[in-house]
Structure 1
């Protein structure tokens, strides 16, 4: 991928990036997060409403791009089965939402882990 298509994708609105995320994740069968040196995942808490979310990306390139300038963050992949079996229940128990594919603008599609799982499973069944 050249940086031009990446930039175009990052400039999509939140809903378009969400749809792109679903199709890419189904293609690759993995979700990308950022972790620090201690293997702790990046969690973002909104200053406005205090909602905590786990940002996720459809590829290592997008996650790495988001982490530019942060020395201790690196992309880590989670297989789709692992995400469904371990992460969705864990995030739900911790009261964490999922921020799907942060982009160039300030909009972000935030969803409940179970909702994202359902959307991915719906897409999988028609894949």
Structure 2
């Protein structure tokens, strides 16, 4: 991915980044997270709510990790594994999802079940 595309997509508002995320993840059938020695990157908001971030492409994860100086690396996950296993676990553990967070921009926070519905709706378009 070239730097201009990276910057253009990162400059989108949270709603547009969500749309980009849904289309890209459904198209590639991959979802990207940030993984380190202690497992997947887990964030929290000012109220203590647990949030796990996910991205549509490797380069965005790498940029996020570098910007925040996280010692994590990008790791892909099969979309169907995510939908069938992770969604239930995140819901049970009361962990929400930050969709495609970028530096100095508000993130779109969504429940796992809400994200599942959006992704499954988009996947139906591909059938």
Q: TM-score band (shorter)? A: over 0.9
Find the counterpart in structure 2 of residue 17 from structure 1.
Answer: 17
Distance in 2, matches of 1:106 and 1:53, equals: 16
C-alpha displacement at 1:94, in angstroms? Answer: 0.7
Distance in 1, matches of 2:123 and 2:80, equals: 12
Distance 1:71 1:18, change over 3 A: closer
SS at match of 2:40: coil
Distance in 2, matches of 1:71 and 1:111, equals: 23
Find the counterpart in structure 2 of residue 37 from structure 1.
Answer: 37
- RMSD (Å) for aligned C-alpha atoms: 1.2
1:86 matches 2:51:
no
C-alpha displacement at 1:106, in angstroms? Answer: 2.6
Find the counterpart in structure 2 of residue 50 from structure 1.
Answer: 48
Unaligned runs of 5+ in 2: none
C-alpha displacement at 1:71, in angstroms? Answer: 5.3
Distance in 1, matches of 2:48 and 2:33, equals: 21
SS at match of 1:62: helix
Distance in 2, matches of 1:36 and 1:124, equals: 30
Write out the 4+ residue segments of structure 1 that deviate beyond 6 Å after TM superposition: none
Find the counterpart in structure 1 of residue 61 from structure 2.
Answer: 63
Matched-pair contact (CA < 8 Å) for 2:61–2:74:
yes
C-alpha displacement at 1:105, in angstroms? Answer: 3.6
Find the counterpart in structure 2 of residue 98 from structure 1.
Answer: 97
**1:99-124 Cα deviation digits (max 9, x unpaired):** 00002443111001011011000011
TM-score, normalised to structure 2's length? Answer: 0.93
Distance in 2, matches of 1:83 and 1:23, equals: 16
Unaligned runs of 5+ in 1: none
How many residues are aligned here? 125
